Amino acid sequence: MNQAKREVPGFAELLQRFERTVSVLGRSQSTFQNYSRHVAAVSLHFGKIPTELDSEQIHDYLFYLQKKSKSPSQSYFKHTVYGLRFLLKSEGLSYDFLSLPEIKREKKLPVVLSKQEVWQMLSGCKLLKHRILIGILYGCGLRCMEVRNLRLCDLDFDRKQLKVVQGKGKKDRYLPLSEHLIRGLKKYIEAEKPEDYLFGMPREGRAGGEFDSRYSQRGV
């Protein structure tokens, strides 16, 4: 996005308006970041902002993405369409010509790790912080974004539960904590002494701890 701000005229101003609209409509910061990355890619491809493109140019770009990837079901293609539709709508422009092709959903069984595989994964972590991170992700079934936003006040060791605040779908929920995970959390808190967020202070202008979703995904 920074490259698009530097090289594409009007992109920085467009991005400011887009962020304001996304925020007013109650969408998450991660949604804004995701859509913006794809809008920036379109802008860099043409050297101009998407609101200055006609429908033929946008269709040419989507055709280019389809040929570049094996299937239009890939998330990059889908999020490009979603991002462009949301942007054009927020700017009061027509977006009806932008639609996804009919996509056959792939049905795959989830991969369930054995106890031995989980133990090997945890044993490979040198840092206590990483072991606790993976333990919460796997043991509680949390998403990376939800782990990033955990605070100390969300942990209830007496009731052996963890509160997920405004998770996916903007819903709160409680999840059980195992005795083993509670012992690990207490050891981590005693060693690292976090003050608010479980995994560090939030960055300026960003919710959550010091690591982002990509950091936690790389850790896993």
pLDDT tens digits, one per residue of 157-193: 999 999 998 765 667 889 999 998 999 999 999 999 9
> pLDDT band for position 67 (50/70/90)?
confident
Closest CA to 167 of 208, 139, 203: 208
| Selection from 27-36, 119-128, 193-202, 204-213 with the highest mean pLDDT | 27-36
Closest CA to 1 of 86, 93, 95, 83: 83
Distance of alpha carbon 112 from alpha carbon 7, whole angstroms: 45
Instruction: Look up the pTM and report it.
Output: 0.56
The residue count of the chain comes to 220
Return residue ranges of the chain for CATH 1.10.443.10.
Answer: 115-201+211-219
The answer to whether the beta carbons of residues 48 and 8 sit under 8 Å apart is: yes
Distance of alpha carbon 185 from alpha carbon 128, whole angstroms: 9
What is the phi/psi pair of residue 37, to 5°? -60, -40
| pLDDT greater than 80 at residue 216 | no
The dihedral sign for the CA sequence 121, 124, 125, 128: positive
Mean pLDDT score, 4-26: 91
- Residue that has been written with the tokens 């939030």 in this structure: 202
What is the phi/psi pair of residue 137, to 5°? -55, -50
Residue 28 or 113, more confident? 28
Distance of alpha carbon 196 from alpha carbon 151, whole angstroms: 6
Work out the widest C-alpha separation in the chain, in whole angstroms. Answer: 61
| pLDDT greater than 70 at residue 202 | no
Enter the tokens of residue 91. 């700017």
Return mean pLDDT, the chain.
Answer: 81
Closest CA to 84 of 28, 14, 26: 14
The fold of the 115-201+211-219 domain, in CATH, is: hpI Integrase; Chain A (1.10.443)
Helix (H, G, I), strand (E, B) or coil at 34: helix
